[in-house]
Amino acid sequence: MNILAQQLNETLEGSAAYGFLSSLGRRMYFPKGIVAQSDEAKEKAKTYNATVGLATKDGVPMHLEDIMSMFREGALTPAEVFNYAPGGGDKELRRIWKDEMVRKNPSLKNARTSQCLVTAGLTHAISMVSQLFFDEGCSLVLPDLFWDNYELIFHDMRGGELHTFPFFRDGRFNVEGMKEALMNEGDHVRLLLNFPNNPTGYTPSSGEMDRIVDALVEVAESGRKLMVLCDDAYFGLFFEQETAKESLFARLADAHENIFAIKGDAATKEDMVWGFRVGFLTYASKGLDEAQLDALVKKTLGMIRCTVSNCDRPGQSLLLHAYKEGRSVAEDKARTFDEMDRRYRAVRRAVSQHASCHVIEPYPFNSGYFMAFDTKGHDAEELRRHLLDSRSIGTVNIMGTTLRVAYCSVEEDKLEDLVNQIYHAAEELWS
């Protein structure tokens, strides 16, 4: 094992995070190689900098003018478009994202968290977590209604076991089922929660979130080490007053020495830049000091280095300019939120008109981009195909039992018809 990895492991030993490291995670480190030496040279190599494999002319990256001309003149420099980004992302962008994260989650104000690291989208962040903290045979506890990519990442890629519990109980998040599932695990327990949830579009109320936190603290009090991965892909899209407005990560960051919290989020949905693939990864625990948080950052930098090397530069530059100089960022985001809120309420009205239908049943939903139907023992794939073939309507089958509807991508005035057609198609098949 590399001496740098050994040193990081020694720093983390005894912490809430250490026992979760996979064999790969223990071996991982950020090398003092080309990238680290190039970063040092940027500060000190004033005569010549012959470190980076990037062709320049008069200090400017060589580039295709046909590409540069696609950017508005004076908006970005060639360096902001064509240069490599630092391995952990643009430092100023990371600082701004963290400041905004704390603003949106006031509970983080006095909590100790790591730097935010830029990832190549939220999927990349979750994938790195799986590699750093999961070995073959490790178990992951999560609700039974989950994004299908989790299975590919944690089970198929890493050989982990997915242990699920029923998402809902009496129309609310199943706190008791979650706690029971966690207490049935061993000394090191891994949990993944995604709010607003994909596929259901559900976020716990403030009271439910209190009970979730209390339950997780009880698990930690039992002596178990608990790692909680918070997938906050749709953070901020909360449409009801009672819905919890802070990330679970914020509530766990300083909750207990045995709780190791990880936050994956992204500009992807929060700032409507889906194709930019700019995500973020942040660590926290009451039991982690600054040196230990830095050790986790260095291991993650090593993962970034040996997977994508560094993340998209133009996307980071565009976001940074928008955050610093944008004239309508807040207004555009507010307008988008209002549009999603109207679509959400249109779907709620349409669903309420079919309360007497028992062939399919909507799961509770209050946030995000989606709502979903329980197909009540019928094959969701059959309904998906019927909608597609007979009505040219596209929906998503989730594990054969759930039909997901992304109302975010359908105009408000078309949503009533969409919902009606889904109900009618289900009745045609199964009534």
Q: Per-residue pLDDT tens for 46-77?
A: 776 676 677 878 888 888 888 888 888 888 88
Residue 423, pLDDT score = 98
Residue 56, pLDDT score = 78
250 and 265 housed in the same domain: yes
CATH number at residue 406: 3.90.1150.10
Cβ(28)–Cβ(302) below 8 Å: yes
Cβ(201)–Cβ(371) below 8 Å: yes
Share of residues in the chain with pLDDT > 90 (%): 85
235 and 383 housed in the same domain: no
231 and 320 housed in the same domain: yes
Cis peptide before 196 (omega within 30 of 0): yes
Q: What is the mean pLDDT of the chain?
A: 94
Range of the domain at 163: 3-30+85-325
- Going by their DSSP bridges, the two strands 402-406 and 396-398 should be labelled as antiparallel
pLDDT greater than 90 at residue 44: no
Mean pLDDT across 356-378: 96
Q: Diameter of the chain by CA atoms?
A: 79
Mean pLDDT across 270-299: 95
352 and 384 housed in the same domain: yes
CA distances from 161 to 17, 210, 430 (A): 20, 28, 34
In this structure, is residue 103 part of a structural domain?
A: yes
3-state secondary structure of 17: coil
Residue 74, pLDDT score = 85
pLDDT greater than 70 at residue 406: yes
Mean pLDDT across 259-283: 95
In this structure, is residue 46 part of a structural domain?
A: no
Total-model pTM: 0.94
Kindly tell me the sign of the dihedral angle through the C-alpha atoms of 118, 120, 126, 131. Answer: negative
Strands (E), 375-417: 396-398, 402-406
Give pLDDT tens digits for 124-170.
999 999 999 999 999 999 999 999 999 999 999 999 999 999 999 99
Residue 41 — pLDDT band, cuts 50, 70, 90?
Answer: low
Q: Nearest to residue 246, comparing CAs of 273, 279, 213? A: 213
Which backbone phi and psi does 134 adopt, to 5 degrees? -135, 130
Residue 187, pLDDT score = 95
DSSP assignment of 104-164: H-GGGTT--B-PPEEESSHHHHHHHHHHHH--TT-EEEEESS--THHIIIIIIIT--EEEE
pLDDT greater than 70 at residue 39: no
204 and 352 housed in the same domain: no
The enclosing H or E element of 191 equals: strand 188-194
Mean pLDDT across 363-374: 97
